[in-house]
Amino acid sequence: MAENTASRIIALSDIEWKQHATLKGIRQKALWSDPATSRQAFLSRFEPGTSLPMHRHAGDEILYVVEGAIADEAGTVTAGNMSYRPNGCVHNVSSRNGATVLAVVTGGIEPASEVGNAPRSRTLQVSEIPWRDGLPGVRQKPIWEDKETNRRAVLAMFEPGATLPRHRHLGEELVFMIEGSHADESGEIATGNMSIRPRGCTHNVSSRNGALSLLFIWGGVEMV
């Protein structure tokens, strides 16, 4: 049976919020997972005053704060900004007034008793990163990159009417639509929804009225 490489829209409003099994004050939506690589994406809602116990990342995590703010020993991450938690990072996480956070995680977490010399999380101030011109009608902010594993997080802005030429994904791409929409052969990704483009996905992408999207990318693309 041939592998399905078409992109797939993830409608967040169709996914149920569930209370976290062990963490009080946290509800989550499980959005996407790839058991073969221990990768997953989920949306978390922190109630005001929520504080997570100290834990260690057995793998890494990159997150985007949709609204509100969260904090740990390295500082506060506010709405519209991001944070990277490297493998081995040990920290507490809290939200004084509540927050909604989109996280892409590789691996898991385990309890920890002290921060010690563990690597710290790193806040990524999106507003301080300059826009770069890319393909016609599309600008990008390169927010984070791990060259060793060929991973990156990019903010992409489509001007109204922008169209990307047909291309093939050489790894996976997970898209979160912050504002506006764009579409491919599988349909239109509206504001607040996501799309997964699996390895081998070949498509055109266009935006009729403009879009602002956050891309989590493994690998690259080639024009076809």
Fold matches, 14-126 and 128-223: yes
* Angle (CA) 127 120 28, round 5°: 70
* Per-residue pLDDT tens over the stretch 52-83: 999 999 999 999 999 999 999 999 999 999 99
Summary mean pLDDT of the chain: 96
Half-sphere exposure of 146 (CA within 13 A, CB side): 14
Domain ranges, ordered by start, for the chain: 14-126, 128-223
Q: Are 204 and 162 in contact (CB under 8 A)?
A: no
**Cα-Cα-Cα-Cα dihedral sign, residues 139, 143, 147, 151:** negative
Is the predicted pLDDT of residue 33 greater than 70, yes or no? yes
Q: Is 128-223 in CATH node 2.60.120.10?
A: yes
Model pTM? 0.96
SS3 state at 217? strand
* Per-residue pLDDT tens over the stretch 202-214: 999 999 999 999 9
**Residue 121 has which token pair?**
């999380």
**Cα-Cα-Cα-Cα dihedral sign, residues 52, 42, 76, 61:** positive
Mean pLDDT of 101-119: 95
- CB atoms under 10 Å from CB of 128, counted, come to 8
Is the predicted pLDDT of residue 1 greater than 80, yes or no? no
What is the per-residue burial (b if ≥16 Cβ within 10 Å, else e) of 202-212? bbebebeebbb
What torsion, rounded to 10 degrees, do the Cα atoms 11, 126, 110, 32 define? 20
Architecture of domain 14-126: Sandwich (2.60)
- CB atoms under 10 Å from CB of 109, counted, come to 16
